[in-house]
């Protein structure tokens, strides 16, 4: 399911332009792409794309489910998108420095591909995340700290870390599709920079994706349950309870729609509280 703000003729045109510009010259490189075996021969890697085997200090593995065997390799990324992913992950590690070493691995379900879905994938500006494995300060091996495959359904602290990480991603990227976007997003989280580019996200009350993420954070992290119905109304429960977080916990005035800094503060607070490292 796509976010209500996604899609559009302009994006399809851009994709077509990029594919036409490269022609068939890039097809030879497709042989090393592990993700999406169904990618048709007509697809072409966008010009300027780079192959990466890691994000920050985290090695990438293709893993469709939590029981499939992880496959190492390299995947196509738009360089600006990859750099932004590195910035996000470095910030998440820095915030969790007392419990995480800044290294581990990421299981994902692909970056470049999916020509029939949202166009960020054919543009190599998206990744579908399965899980994040981190070396904790207390051990030498890595453990799955964030589970996007079944983490929401697992409940408890696993579910809190799921939403804390989605909140963190949602500050860096405008388009983060999650459990309440339905479809395949119940078993992976989709991240792209199609809308927000290299800038921090802003909050749109017309985005069912962002609103339901806020509703999930209020319900599962802040313990202020609200209906998770993807809809926003000024003065409604989601507005009231998010103001409680901003005003009573974070010491700020106004609501989520007051300023971008309030939106970002709510996300940062949800990340801290969801990981159990303060509010």
Task: Return the H-helix or E-strand segment holding 189.
Answer: strand 189-192
- Residue of 107, 190, 224, 272 interacting with Zn ion (CB under 5 A): 190
175 lies in the site for Zn ion, by CB under 5 A: no
DSSP helix/strand/coil, 267: helix
In degrees, rounded to 5, the angle at the alpha carbon of residue 274 between the alpha carbons of residues 250 and 138 is: 120
Beta strands 100-108 and 58-62 are parallel
The pattern of x and - marking residues 256 through 275 that bind Zn ion according to CB under 5 A reads: --------------------
- CB of residue 112 vs Zn ion: minimum separation in angstroms? 11
Cross-strand bridge partners of residue 148: none
Nearer to Zn ion, 128 or 239 (CB): 128
Angle, CA 184 vertex, CA 157 and CA 2 arms, to 5°: 105
Packing angle, helices 208-216 and 237-244, rounded to 10? 50
Comparison of 144 and 175: residue with beta carbon closer to Zn ion = 175
Which range touches Zn ion (CB under 5 A), out of 74-82, 97-105, 189-197, 237-245?
Answer: 189-197
What tokens does 138 get?
């207390």
Do residues 260 and 202 make contact, with C-beta atoms less than 8 angstroms apart? yes
Q: Which of residues 78-137 bind Zn ion (CB under 5 A)?
A: 128
Q: Least separation, in Å, of the C-beta of 123 and Zn ion? A: 12
Instruction: Name the one range near Zn ion by CB under 5 A: 26-34, 135-143, 184-192, 216-224.
Output: 184-192
11 or 136, CB closer to Zn ion? 11
Helices 208-216, 156-172: axis angle to 10 degrees equals 140
Q: Given the complex with Zn ion, which of 115 and 200 has the nearer CB atom? A: 115
Q: Output DSSP code: residue 219.
A: I
Q: How far is the CB of 79 from Zn ion (least distance, A)?
A: 19
Q: Which is nearer to Zn ion, 209 or 262 (CB)?
A: 209
The least CB distance from residue 2 to Zn ion, in Å, is: 10
Is the CB of 2 or the CB of 268 nearer to Zn ion? 2
User: Nearest 5°: phi and psi at 14?
Assistant: -60, -45
Q: Which is nearer to Zn ion, 128 or 145 (CB)?
A: 128
Shortest-Cβ-distance residue relative to Zn ion:
190
Count the site residues for Zn ion by CB under 5 A: 2
Strand-pairing partners, residue 108, are: 62, 129
Q: Which residues bind Zn ion (CB under 5 A)?
A: 128, 190
């Amino acid at each position: 399911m796509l976010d209500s703000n996604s899609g559009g003729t302009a994006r399809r045109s851009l994709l077509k332009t990029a594919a036409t510009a490269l022609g068939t010259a890039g097809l030879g490189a497709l042989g090393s792409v592990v993700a999406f075996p169904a990618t048709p021969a007509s697809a072409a890697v966008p010009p300027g794309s780079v192959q990466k085997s890691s994000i920050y200090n985290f090695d990438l593995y293709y893993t469709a489910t939590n029981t499939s065997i992880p496959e190492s390799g390299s995947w196509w990324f738009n360089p600006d998108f990859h750099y932004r992913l590195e910035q996000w992950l470095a910030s998440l590690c820095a915030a969790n420095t007392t419990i995480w070493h800044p290294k581990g691995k990421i299981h994902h379900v692909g970056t470049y591909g999916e020509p029939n879905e949202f166009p960020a994938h054919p543009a190599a500006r998206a990744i579908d995340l399965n899980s994040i494995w981190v070396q904790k300060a207390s051990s030498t091996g890595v453990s799955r700290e964030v589970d996007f495959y079944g983490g929401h359904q697992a409940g408890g602290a696993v579910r809190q870390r799921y939403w804390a990480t989605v909140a963190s991603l949602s500050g860096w990227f405008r388009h983060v599709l999650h459990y309440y976007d339905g479809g395949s997003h119940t078993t992976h989280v989709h991240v792209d920079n199609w809308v927000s580019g290299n800038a921090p996200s802003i909050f749109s009350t017309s985005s069912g994706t962002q609103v339901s993420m806020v509703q999930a954070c209020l319900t599962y992290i802040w313990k202020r349950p609200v209906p998770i119905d993807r809809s926003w109304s000024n003065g409604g429960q989601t507005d009231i309870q998010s103001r409680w977080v901003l005003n009573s916990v974070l010491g700020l005035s106004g609501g989520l729609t007051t300023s971008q800094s309030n939106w970002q503060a709510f996300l940062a607070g949800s990340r801290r509280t969801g990981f159990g490292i303060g509010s």
